[in-house]
Structure 1
């Protein structure tokens, strides 16, 4: 058996218990909390929107409690299977799939996995003996948080979207605290014992970028900060309809001397560069497959054109970046529509449907914004009002409340 002190990644069956048997037996009866030896379980996964907040929380809690022992629990098939072991945080993986709403063979398989994953999660928690369990979203959180409930371990779930996912909604019925990234999420947790709008952890991290780093990134790209900078992205893997609309945008004269930073996504980068090579050479158009230093670029951005995932919205509202949002029509429950509408209602963003891109609406809306500095300033202020720059502190304070 692997010892979790010497191995940063393990399966539930490999998880060895570092505690004497006499301490394990009474887990459900007595939980001894020692401030100098905090044990924290963070669970969440499937997509980066659930994984990165989890590790942001882990980092902040380790700053507050340097001797804390932390365990991350994710799914076997999610993106976390690749990312989590690289973090150096001890981790375990459960075999679990998303809940099905229709009767089918897959639905029965999902129910079976849900049951087995609950008992696996319970075994892991009994052996690790956490003082608190935090869920950051994704279908893995439900069995882990339910196991925590049956063991009497305080817990919280973090919902970052305006439209709450099913696993988080169900978890909200029995956790101690629901932490929200957006005010609109309150509608889904009216029966939760405690609901707190904390913001998205990414909002805190994006503000940590210093002016020197922003200037360096702009120099590297060749950007002139005295002129408008338009940043275009379609998510970590890019978005073909947005990329097609950008080609149309590039065919029009840029009356406002704007510079365009086009982050295509790795999947589409080669094809776009090939197509771009057949077009007349244009200055001030910078094409990148991805951007590692996104916070610095966003800090210099005049207008952002983007999908409406919770993470990018947390970043742009923390910085107050005016945005044109194009919600993905392919995500569950169209939750990006709800996210985007929350910003639009406050005057912080313009929302376009993906279908409208074929009608040239992207170029029209961008030109209208750049021609109206007063409106841009109003969007900037509205966006900042929605931002939660102290999100990580708020989340950590709520975790401390559960630990007290």
Structure 2
């Protein structure tokens, strides 16, 4: 009999994308059947098109507040999300719950405990998030991206360093020429991929405009695939048309053909959330990483440090993410194919494309031993 596994991921693309990857892998198993739970607001990311609507659930997961006037409302919404998940678990005879991190997963993890269902956690970042630290005692295993995460855990023996699950469309091997055509950039000598994260990054979006305006000659034959995030897409689309020549820019809130974007580009400039970093690594994309300075426990900076130390990326602080400081580094790399090749090789070595296989294998073994 097939076992139903409930995956919870939401809040940002960094929690959703690996959840989708795990959903895909579980769907390939003959005796496993995945379900996906996310926040209602997260449907806007457009990542769920390949998930059967009958197996996709949503709830209102409130973000934590310290405002005393908002705490009663928070508790009511949190309790409502917990109860909804308990009903989902019971109705679908769920055998295990897998949390992908972030506040959106918290009510479902509480529901797993109430329902006495085995709980597994996936941690994307070097520094484990609050949800992982809160639920590590109650979970069976923690599947993590970076080896150094054990130093932050009270129960490091539960930690399995396996990498971050990678979506199937990231791993598709598309010829570079074909990938560039998908974004109408086949005429460009080089292509840069700009990713500010699922919610966008004002700093990176402004950097694109600064670079194009300050270095028009250098960018004449350089194409840009630019993911702005949904909050500021209209603004930057207009600015890209008004302030710079947009003929060699592909601009979109999200990049649906992300695998082709990775194959089309020669280098990426991005934030250093673990999700996008591991996808870039799996595709062998050299990176300039600009950590978000206000990330919890400075985890993006530590993520970037790990890739810089591995030779897969160059780290630039948010403060230094301005055209006159980024341009020399960017052009030096683009004009040095040997250096880019070395970084690409290092990125591939840092990736673990079998993460989803490892997670599924461990879930099956633990559920099998609990019969």
Same fold (TM over 0.5): yes
Distance in 1 between residues matched to 2:59 and 2:239, nearest whole Å: 43
Cα pair distance change 1:204/1:310, threshold 3 Å: farther
The question of 1:154 aligning with 2:126 is answered no
CA shift at 1:336, angstroms?
A: 2.0
Structure 2 regions of 5+ residues with no counterpart? none
CA contact (8 A) 1:369 1:375 kept: yes
Structure-1-length-normalised TM-score = 0.78
Larger Rg over CA atoms:
1
Alignment of 1:210-359 (within 5 A): 210-212=173-175, 214-223=176-185, 227-250=189-212, 251-252=214-215, 259-265=222-228, 268-272=232-236, 274-277=238-241, 285-289=248-252, 290-358=254-322
Alignment of 1:97-112 (within 5 A): 97-100=62-65, 102=66, 104-112=68-76
CA shift at 1:74, angstroms?
A: 3.0
Alignment of 1:2-401 (within 5 A): 36-65=1-30, 68-79=32-43, 87-88=51-52, 89-100=54-65, 102=66, 104-202=68-166, 205-207=169-171, 209-212=172-175, 214-223=176-185, 227-250=189-212, 251-252=214-215, 259-265=222-228, 268-272=232-236, 274-277=238-241, 285-289=248-252, 290-358=254-322, 360-401=324-365
CA shift at 1:363, angstroms?
A: 0.6
CA RMSD of aligned residues (A): 3.2
CA shift at 1:170, angstroms?
A: 1.0
CA contact (8 A) 1:46 1:80 kept: no
Structure-2-length-normalised TM-score = 0.84
Q: Give the total of aligned pairs.
A: 364
Distance in 2 between residues matched to 1:38 and 1:280, nearest whole Å: 54
CA contact (8 A) 1:204 1:318 kept: no
CA shift at 1:327, angstroms?
A: 1.7
CA shift at 1:223, angstroms?
A: 4.0
Deviates further, 370-379 or 112-121: 112-121
Cα pair distance change 1:220/1:49, threshold 3 Å: closer
CA contact (8 A) 1:53 1:202 kept: yes
CA shift at 1:108, angstroms?
A: 4.7
Cα pair distance change 1:318/1:69, threshold 3 Å: closer
CA contact (8 A) 1:45 1:80 kept: no
Distance in 2 between residues matched to 1:137 and 1:376, nearest whole Å: 33
Cα pair distance change 1:292/1:44, threshold 3 Å: closer
CA shift at 1:267, angstroms?
A: 5.0
CA contact (8 A) 1:232 1:262 kept: yes
CA contact (8 A) 1:137 1:158 kept: yes
Cα pair distance change 1:176/1:286, threshold 3 Å: same
Deviates further, 142-151 or 161-170: 142-151
CA shift at 1:37, angstroms?
A: 2.4
CA contact (8 A) 1:228 1:256 kept: no
Structure 1 regions of 5+ residues with no counterpart? 1-35
CA contact (8 A) 2:190 2:221 kept: yes
CA contact (8 A) 1:308 1:337 kept: yes
For residues 84-138 of structure 1, the C-alpha deviation after alignment (integer angstroms, 9 at most, x for no partner) is 69832434444432334x4723345434544454444334423433222111122
Distance in 1 between residues matched to 2:320 and 2:206, nearest whole Å: 12
Distance in 1 between residues matched to 2:44 and 2:366, nearest whole Å: 26
Secondary structure of the residue aligned to 2:5 is strand
